[in-house]
Amino acid sequence: MKKVFVLDTNVLLHDPNAMWQFEDNDVVLPITVIEELDRFKKQPEMTGRNARQASRNLDALRQKGHLTDGVTLEKGGLLRVALCQRQTLQELPAELERDSGDNAILAVALELKHQCQCPVIVVSKDTNLRIKADALGLTAEDYENDKVDVDELYTGTVEVLLTSDRIDQLYKQGSISLEQEFFPNQALTLVDEANPSHTALAIFDGITKQIVPLSKLASSEVSHIRARNREQKFALELLLRDAISLVTLVGQAGTGKTLLAIAAGLTKVADDRDYTRLLISRPVVPMGKDLGYLPGDVNEKLTPWMQPLYDNFDLIFGAQDAVNKFAHRRKGYEELIQHGLLQIEPLTYIRGRTIPKQFFIVDEAQNLTPHEVKTILTRAGEDTKIVLTGDINQIDNPYVDASSNGLTYVIERFKQDPIAGHITLVKGERSKLAERAVALL
């Protein structure tokens, strides 16, 4: 049976093309949604851009017919803009404000439910609106077109039982093949069937389709940082493989995501010269109340936002000082910036850029929307490697959650691609206190 979906404004702010995602069902936009799009269109960054794009989409549909009568969509559904009848608003419970945009959306949905025999569904990313819709007897759903099942999120690792002869064969021949299917660049822990304590670490090469052992670099020091556990070794392997253009690292606080990415980037840029520059960025999303405008030039304004990155550089160069007592020979990140080998900047100005032959790290990627991540990945020029790091349990962006953020979206979409690799880091290595805080709080 054909359904009628009533969209909330936040759905179009999240995905301006959402109106085409409901197959052959009808889509209704209450007039208050158009009014709210007009208010959001002047906002900076992604919210304003999505509002403007949604308005342009509606204007293009308007050329095909009157929106109040309904315009046929590509898949056979009908899109129309519905007016809110004052009488229906008066029928709402007294506790609901009459001049609220959310309640006007509910009034339109109630009116449609009385008029047609087909199911009427309110689609909103606002939890409270869905609760109010349910209280009024309306069916309400979240917009899930780009949602990923977090419980089934691809981890990038798997354990495989093998005979000891097969494990020995891996190291003698340099590669083996198995009938079992794996994802490209998936990390494998090969376990001896007779002796489970006998294991080997390998990776399923996305190009040759062979199982190959990890390189020696994954277990050695990289920018004076050494992997402390199995997942970190897997991560370094992906980070140091030039054939892998996209690496995603997910893990809780203190698992070493950003540190490993920066250490690998420094090695690839400053030592091996495989890339011309190490470019690091992160979304400017505050935790808690925003402090507002910060004084100073652009570098001074960015310092509080980028300080976590500087902390990682201090740790790396501090490790170098511990090895080399003659600290005058080391290069601090200030010197790398002066020589053009390192650039740290916000994501605000990335649209329209082309980034060739650079090692590009995007930290805190869980705060990005799928559309924002697409914008970033499409900036990659020839021979550029992009690394996305983040913790999907620490999201400060109010418009995304663990299952709809850009990081999980990329992990799920790229897991079959031979140029991409992913690792979920499990064990915290920052300190015993940090690890216990993650476990207990």
- Residue-by-residue pLDDT tens, the chain, 441 positions: 789 999 999 999 888 999 999 989 999 999 999 999 999 988 867 788 889 999 999 999 999 999 999 999 988 899 999 987 766 766 777 777 667 888 889 989 999 998 888 899 999 998 899 999 999 999 999 988 767 888 889 999 999 999 999 999 999 999 999 989 999 999 999 999 999 989 999 999 999 999 999 999 888 889 889 999 999 999 999 999 999 999 999 998 889 999 999 999 999 999 999 999 999 988 876 544 555 555 666 566 666 667 778 888 888 887 555 555 444 434 577 888 888 899 888 777 777 788 999 999 999 999 998 888 998 999 999 999 999 999 998 888 877 888 889 999 999 999 999 999 999 999 888 778 877 777 787
Q: What is the pLDDT of residue 380?
A: 92
Q: What is the pLDDT of residue 424?
A: 96
> Is 424 in contact with 252 (CB distance < 8 Å)?
no
Q: What is the pLDDT of residue 26?
A: 94
> Is 433 in contact with 416 (CB distance < 8 Å)?
no
> Is 247 in contact with 390 (CB distance < 8 Å)?
no
Q: Which two tokens stand for residue 58?
A: 């509606």
Which of 201, 198, 197, 208 has its CA nearest to residue 165? 198
Q: What is the pLDDT of residue 174?
A: 93
Q: Which two tokens stand for residue 349?
A: 């100005």
Q: What number of other Cβ atoms are within 10 A of residue 405's Cβ?
A: 27
State the sign of the Cα–Cα–Cα–Cα dihedral 388, 389, 392, 395.
Answer: negative
**What length does the chain have?**
441
Q: What is the pLDDT of residue 55?
A: 95
Q: Which two tokens stand for residue 138?
A: 């309306």
Domains in the chain, CATH or no CATH each: 4-141 (3.40.50.1010), 216-440 (3.40.50.300)
Q: What is the pLDDT of residue 432?
A: 80
Q: Which two tokens stand for residue 19?
A: 């109106």
Adjacent-strand bridge partners of 159: 189
Q: What number of other Cβ atoms are within 10 A of residue 332's Cβ?
A: 14
Place of tokens 């945009």: 101
Q: Which two tokens stand for residue 170?
A: 């891996």
Q: Which amino acid is at 208?
A: T
**Alpha-carbon span 278 to 267, nearest angstrom:** 10
Which of 242, 245, 205 has its CA nearest to residue 385? 245
Q: What does the H/E/C string look like for the chain?
A: CCCEEEECHHHHHHCCCHHHCCCCCEEEEEHHHHHHHHHHCCCCHHHHHHHHHHHHHHHHHHCCCCCCCCEECCCCCEEEEECCCHHHHHCCCCCCCCCCHHHHHHHHHHHHHHHCCCCEEEECCCHHHHHHHHHCCCEEECCCCCCCCHHHCCCCEEEEEECHHHHHHHHHHCCECCCCCCCCCCEEEEEECCCCCCEEEEEECCCCCCEEECCHHHHCCECCECCCCHHHHHHHHHHHCCCCCEEEEEECCCCCHHHHHHHHHHHHHHHCCCCCEEEEECCCCCCCCCCCCCCCCHHHHHHHHHHHHHHHHHHHHHHHHHHCCCHHHCCCHHHHHHCCCEEECCHHHCCCCCECCEEEEECCHHHCCHHHHHHHHCCECCCCEEEEEECCCCCCCCCCCCCCCHHHHHHHHHCCCCCEEEEEECCCCCCHHHHHHHHHC
Summarize pLDDT for 118-149 with one digit per residue, the tens. 899 999 998 899 999 999 999 999 988 767 88
User: 220 Cβ partners below 8 Å, 6+ apart?
Assistant: 226
Name the burial class of residue 340, with classes exposed (0-12), middle (13-18) and buried (19+) by CB atoms within 10 angstroms of its CB: exposed
Summarize pLDDT for 188-237 with one digit per residue, the tens. 999 999 999 899 999 999 999 999 999 998 888 898 899 999 999 999 99
> Is 394 in contact with 258 (CB distance < 8 Å)?
no
> Is 89 in contact with 104 (CB distance < 8 Å)?
yes
Q: What is the pLDDT of residue 287?
A: 45
Q: What number of other Cβ atoms are within 10 A of residue 212's Cβ?
A: 17
Name the burial class of residue 34, with classes exposed (0-12), middle (13-18) and buried (19+) by CB atoms within 10 angstroms of its CB: middle
- Phi and psi at residue 29, to the nearest 5°: -110, 110
